[in-house]
Chains A and B, each alone.
Chain A
Amino acid sequence: MSAEHKEFRIKWGMVIDLDKCTGCGACMVACQAENNLAPTPDASNKKKVMNWLVVYELTNGKAFPAHEVAYLPRPCQQCGTQPCASVCPVVATEKNEEGGIVSQIYPRCIGCRYCMAACPYHARYFNWLDPVWPEGLDKVISPDVSVRPRGVVEKCSFCHHRFMKAKDKARVEKRDIFELEDGEYVTACAEACPNGAIAFGDLLNPGHKVSALAESPHAFRLLARLGTDPQVYYLSRRDWVRAQGDNRLAEEITRG
């Protein structure tokens, strides 16, 4: 059964400039702190570590001195046609709210992990064990984000609680909640990036700079040909970086 394509009046999106990213990992740390991700006691097995946002290292595969690297932060791509939501047997994840953020309903998730199998971006994570905060660290748990028990899947929510706060503020000021100013709602990773590599805003609002950035000739999306229609765009002026955004057949590669 094919997945349903969802469109909204507002489309929260992210544009990440890979030429500005140094791979410092501040976005990952900010995300962990903001979203109450418990520290992993043994983080040696990277496939069992909880990170809603992961920074991948890309290389051009050439030897020194032609060797180049790039860093690619990967949050949930908030796909327009989600491989994950359509397969969830209990509607624990869906995209049906203005803004187009793919939700995750922790109290409803049964932990079957079918969504994880279906997501080609590895953007979904499972709570393999009970989350434990070391003595004292529990005092920094944010009251804005619910903590998750073991046995459920979780993922990047584009800091959805910040969206709710921005909407509350607009309501109090008697403004249209669907006409938020650029920068009024940004994710923790975008805020923390020291190089300003991560831009966040409404992709459909010409007043938000992401709408222009996404149209850049240097912009691309990960695995776009699979038809997932992600709301996360990447920018790079380097051909070899853009070439790694999708799988291409030998005859399709003309440059880079």
Chain B
Amino acid sequence: MLKGKFLPLDSELLPEGSERCSLSKFILWLLPIGLLLLWGLYAAFKVLANGLGVTGLDDYFGFGLWITFDLAVIALGAGAFFTGLLRYILNIDPLKNIINLAVIVGFICYSGAMLILVLDIGQPLRAWFGYWHANVHSMLTEVIFCITCYCAVLVIEYIPLILEQRQLDRIPLIRHLAHNFHVFMPLFAGIGAFLSTFHQGSLGGMYGVMFGRPYAFREGFFIWPWTFFLFVLSAVGSGPLFTVLIASLMEKITGRKLVSWEVKSIMGKIAGTMLSVYIVFKLLDTWWWMTDTLPSRAGLTFDQMFYGWIYGKWLMFLEIIICGLLPCVILLKKSLRERVRLFYAAALLDCLGIVINRYVMTVQTLAQPVLPFDSWATYVPNWVEWAASILVIAYGAFLLSLSYRYLPIFPQEAALNRDCGSLGLPGRGS
């Protein structure tokens, strides 16, 4: 805090050398988030009290918005494990400036997905059966194992960030504890990378093994359908950029510089590389599915996989070309990547492409009529499903706001804003 400047009421709790808005302004910011949280909690209560009949799901669409949302946030939350792997195992040092945010975003995504799953399964009190009566042949069992274990890893990675809070850090025991957590962080980053790779893959495998659903079914290698590998690659090709987008959104809201352009650019380059590998395999997979798997295994043609506008081919074109190939080109070519607007456009398209992929794999798979005398089904999520999804987004905004205000998560913040200050750029935010 600079001498002579206005100090917030909770200034003693704020990170050293940082500048934050007044407490009342912060509370005012939290107010709309709180209202959305309450709305979502009401929807959650409706589901838990009355059953899933209050949602727009039905016997054709056992999976809908919530599963799409879960798969999307888990893919976008992959920034946590992948950045951790790059930072702690492969020692790409500049990423230390964004790893804390990646961990928090990852934690929000995974805990949020688990919250939605509690609502989405019909018998949430039996969720532990996944461990007790595990069917080792099911991809979903692996997902249950890895997501719960990885969420625990993310808690372990989040704890030292909380322990570094200014007042907590004054207590020697806690300071040493936080230090020791950091010493062991490469170990947890390694465990996280292992668990994450497998459950990202298993989420894809879940769809690929459904041999009764021609839209999703894929052949593969050994026990893993090709979707297993595609889901891993698409997650690491988009997760890091989602973290960058969150960082930039926070910069916009707070008016302070939090992560240097250099770090963002590295994240973009890495994600772009992974995305290009993904797109090559995705194109090969789509071609093989179209020309071999579909006709030979299901007796169906590529055209029969699409219907009208809502399930049209434009979605596939948008997903693979506009939101896949295009961001690849921008992110891999330095002259394009360094142009800020293009960079952010590529990041947004990349993330959108992955969301579309998770959506079509979930909803279009179920909408496509497999029985020759059946017809295409449509699905519209109702307010309960939207509210519960918004609950997770509001919960994320709430947790990020608190973490930003009270925890030292951006190592570059002080230095970057000192420079900004001298240049006369805005330097105070929420």
Contact = CB atoms under 8 A, between A and B. Distances in A.
Q: Do A and B come from one complex?
A: yes
Interface of A: 1-4, 45, 47-48, 56-58, 72, 83, 86-92, 108-114, 116-122, 124-130, 149-153, 222-223, 225-228, 243-249, 252
A113 B52 CA distance: 12
Q: Which 8 A-B pairs have the closest CB atoms?
A: A111-B122, A151-B122, A113-B62, A128-B53, A120-B212, A129-B53, A83-B212, A47-B58
B113 to A, nearest CB: 14
A223 B371 contact: yes
A46 B59 CA distance: 9
16 contacts: A45-B58, A47-B61, A72-B373, A86-B138, A87-B138, A87-B140, A89-B135, A111-B123, A117-B210, A117-B213, A117-B365, A150-B52, A151-B122, A228-B212, A245-B372, A247-B300
A114 B206 contact: yes
B51 interface: yes
Interface in B364-418: 365-366, 370-374, 377
Given A110-B127, A247-B299, 10 more contacts: A90-B135, A92-B133, A113-B63, A121-B371, A125-B59, A128-B51, A128-B52, A223-B371, A226-B298, A249-B300
A89 B134 contact: yes
Contacts of A1: 137-139, 205, 209, 223-224
A6 B214 CA distance: 22
Given A89-B130, A125-B59, A114 B135 contact: no
B348 to A, nearest CB: 30
B314 interface: no
Interface centre among A1, A47, A88, by most chain B C-beta atoms within 10 angstroms, is: A1
Contacts, number: 185
A105 B15 CA distance: 54
B144 interface: yes
Contact of B58 (A48, A108, A109, A151): A48
Contacts of B312: none
Interface centre among A87, A90, A109, A252, by most chain B C-beta atoms within 10 angstroms, is: A90
B307 interface: no
A124 B63 CA distance: 13
Given A88-B138, A117-B213, A247-B372, A129 B122 contact: no
Contacts of B137: 1, 4, 86
B295 interface: yes
A126 B135 contact: no
Contact of A117 (B53, B63, B373): B63
A175 B304 CA distance: 53
A150 B51 contact: yes
B141 interface: yes
Contacts of B288: none
A120 B127 contact: no
Nearest to B140: A89
